[in-house]
Amino acid sequence: MANIGLYIELKEGVFKKSNRELLSLVRKCGQNGHAVVFCADLQPYLPELRGIQTVIQVKGTDLAYQPDRYAQTLADIIAEFKLDVFCGIFSAQGKDLFPRLAAKAKASLVNDCLAVDPASRKAVKPVYSGKLLAEFQVNDERALFTIRPNVIPVEESPADGQPEIKTFPFNAGPVKTHIVQVVKSAAKKIDLTEAEIIVSGGRAMKNKENFAILEALAAVLNAGVGASRAAVDAEYATADMQVGQTGKVVNPKLYIACGISGAIQHFVGMKTSKIIVAINKDPEAPIFKKADYGIVGDLFAIAPLLQEELKKKL
């Protein structure tokens, strides 16, 4: 039986929702699961970790994220516990951590997987910005995978199956890549790559101020607000809001595109959304060919109506 490890990502102590996808994958694959959590107190997370054979709690006096320390600690854990496969979330931190870990652990890594079979070490991931899918086989002693959020069906943590708990010391060695400060944005924004609903605006928004219309709609849906490249280049929206080939790849259950024509570069960033809604004045806009539901009309009229309608029944 293979030893499968997974990195439980905490964000300021909060258990990231996508961890549940990794846990579901590991519970289902019938291998020997090991969940690694960097924390001073494991108790709050234990209910989520049932059904996993072993939990490795990494303890240290200062567990602040420094990539060199995290990567070295995980490489030590992979060696100590003889983990054959190690998985994580394809998040901002995952993208920073896993390639470093792969190099330190002399392992192969496939990032941004849509499907992983830990036993056979096969994975499917999008390439060419999702225009194609590639299936890879890892023939290395150790295989690392990061998994795109919102792709693996989540199963509830089982009622029993307490894991065996082990502790491991945090490697607080010197840091070469030194994070001296983390600056949070003034406005609390929803992480688009993990968002369940996204409302997105294009060039038709006309200016920065009009994005308030989408923000109001998003607030009713608890949604994130995205933008097309055209809207970002015109400075109606900030670069961190851009969805598409040179922006973020998102995977929500509902994506509402307002005044977005639907160029291929935008489409590849949101095509895996479960449901796509298009609102556009131009009935010939390519977005209508790709949307599940479309309304031909002026977004400045439709978006507020939609907001009212949603408020009514929620």
Placement of tokens 């840091």 in the chain: 175
Answer yes or no: are the C-beta atoms of 68 and 175 closer than 8 Å: yes
Which of the residues 267 through 306 are near other proteins (CB under 8 A)?
Answer: 271, 274-277, 283, 288-298, 301-302, 305-306
CA 51 to chain centre: 23
Residues 59-88 that bind other proteins (CB under 8 A): 68
Continuous segment of H or E residues that includes residue 70: helix 67-80
Q: CB of 38: closest distance to other proteins in angstroms?
A: 17
* Number of residues in contact with other proteins under rule CB under 8 A: 89
Two tokens, residue 90: 């394809």
125 binds other proteins, rule: CB under 8 A: yes
Whose Cβ is closer to other proteins: residue 55's or residue 195's? 195
In this structure, are residues 216 and 307 in contact, taking their beta carbons and an 8 Å threshold?
yes
Determine if 213 is a binding residue for other proteins (CB under 8 A).
Answer: no
Q: In 3D, which of 191, 210, 202, 206 has the Cα closest to residue 227?
A: 202
Please tell me whether residue 14 binds other proteins under the rule CB under 8 A.
no
Out of 79, 133, 165, 212, which residue is the one contacting other proteins (CB under 8 A)?
Answer: 133
Q: Which 238-257 residues touch other proteins, going by CB under 8 A?
A: 238-240, 242, 245-247, 253-254
Select from 99, 117, 166, 172 the one that contacts other proteins (CB under 8 A). 99
Is residue 237 within 8 Å of 227, Cβ to Cβ?
yes
Choose which of 10, 191, 203, 281 interacts with other proteins (CB under 8 A).
191
Decide: helix, strand or coil at residue 13. coil
CA 114 to CA 108: how far, in whole Å? 17
Nearer of residues 167 and 177 to other proteins, judged by Cβ: 177
